[in-house]
Amino acid sequence: MKMTVYAALMAAAAMTVSAPAMAHVHGVPDPDDHAPIGVMGDHTHKTGEWMVSYRYARMDMRDARSGTTDLTTTDVLAQGFMMAPTKMNMEMHMFGAMYAPSDRVTFMAMVPMIDKEMEMRNAMGMRMTMDTFGIGDAKLAANVVVFSRADMDRLEQLHINLGLSAPTGSIDETNAAGQRLGYPMQLGTGTVDPTIGLTYLKHQGAWSWGAQAKGTLRLYDNKHDYHLGDEAEATVWTARNLRPWLSVSGRVNAKAWGNIEGADASLNTMMTPGNRADLRGGERVELGLGANFIVPQGQLKGHRFALEALVPVYQDLDGPQLQADHRLVAGWQYAF
């Protein structure tokens, strides 16, 4: 009996897979139809489909580094700074919506709430903490399919990611004394930033692969006479469906970002490295492990939950600059 049901399901799956659209919309969703949750703009939707999502992302940073060398608090202070950053936690609550007016184009809108907390020390060992909280830069994007092919057991898609980040996040965050906080504590970029990227997806049997490359440009100065550096990010991943409701993934993520150009004249560059425009750039390579779930039945049937943890294996920073310790991303997604 079980075998018959299984055979029927396999036949149904084989038929639906031949539909000319991503597995995501072929009627029997697989958990790995979506990339690891830390990847944005990884999938498209079918005509008329909506998706709402929530992501929680957290990055913990510990201790400074210059180039690929770890620095102690003493090392940082020896470079003439009054305060050395020792740790920083960044939390993001990202609310998103997707809508596909056609199979070819999927629009996305994302609004983040950001919570940052940083700790610094001076030569006397005195600890100082600061925190900022508020809306970050909202993003609008379109994923445009340029190539899509599906046969028996295989799906392939290539789409372009076009995005714009709006300066809804504050760049006016201050400490209790009313002095503007350093660049890493601000919530937004202060500029309209275009992003362009390319995403490739392939599904075959229980396996899937994906690759994405993205660039973000900062084209002009914000009202405080600076702009963040351009960014380039590339990632590749593979995932395997272990159950109809569970897939696991492995991923490599590489990111490079430039220094700030221009400078906020109100920041004292002797105070802390975070006030220096020329100590913000860097490169980082991370390895990620993730899991995607689809609730198979009950009231939450079809709801997706996902988790991903990323650990840096390489960091080269224009420092002293705080280095990443690890990153966590968790999310909920629901398409209708």
The nearest distance, CB 331 to Cu ion, in angstroms, is 11
Identify which of residues 90 and 98 has a Cβ nearer to Cu ion in the complex: 98
CA distance 28 to 279: 49
Smallest separation, CB 126 to Cu ion (Å): 48
For Cu ion, which is the closer residue by CB, 87 or 104?
104
Positions touching Cu ion (CB under 5 A) are 51, 98
Least Å from the CB of residue 33 to Cu ion? 9
Q: Cβ 232 to Cu ion, closest distance in Å?
A: 24
Nearest approach in angstroms of CB 335 to Cu ion is: 6
Residue spans of beta strands (DSSP E) within 182-297? 193-204, 207-216, 226-227, 231-243, 246-257, 261-262, 282-294
Determine contact, residues 200/157, Cβ cutoff 8 Å: yes
Q: Which is nearer to Cu ion, 110 or 187 (CB)?
A: 110
Compute the C-alpha angle 221/168/99, nearest 5°: 120
Q: What is the DSSP string of 272-284?
A: -GGG-GGG--EEE
Going by C-beta distance under 8 Å and a sequence separation of 6 or more, which residues neighbour residue 325? 60, 61, 62, 312
Nearest residue (CB) to Cu ion, 40 versus 88:
40
DSSP, res 107? E
CA-CA-CA-CA torsion for 40, 41, 43, 49, nearest 10 degrees?
Answer: 110
Nearer to Cu ion, 98 or 150 (CB): 98
- Residue 12: its H or E element: helix 2-17
User: Rounded to the nearest whole angstrom, what is the least distance from the CB of residue 86 to Cu ion in the complex?
Assistant: 39
- Of residues 61 and 98, the one with the C-beta less far from Cu ion: 98
For the CB of residue 51, give the shortest distance to Cu ion in the complex, in Å. 4
- Of 208 and 321, the one with the shorter C-beta distance to Cu ion is 208
Residue (9 or 109) nearer to Cu ion, CB = 109
Specify whether the CB–CB gap between 239 and 50 falls below 8 A: no
Category of 67 on φ-ψ map: left (φ > 0), alpha (ψ -120 to 50) or beta: left
What is the rounded distance in angstroms from the CA atom of residue 129 to the CA atom of residue 66?
A: 22
Instruction: List C-alpha distances in Å: 257 to 47, 228, 313, 328.
Output: 36, 9, 17, 20
Using the minimum distance from each CB to Cu ion, give the nearer residue, 17 or 108: 108
In the complex, least distance from residue 273 CB atom to Cu ion, rounded to whole angstroms: 39
Task: Tell me the closest approach of the beta carbon of residue 43 to Cu ion, in angstroms.
Answer: 6
Please tell me whether residue 76 adopts helix, strand or coil conformation: helix
Query: How many Cβ atoms are within 10 Å of 21's Cβ, its own excluded?
Result: 19
**CA–CA gap between residue 110 and residue 132 (Å, rounded):** 20
Query: What residue is closest to Cu ion based on CB?
Result: 51
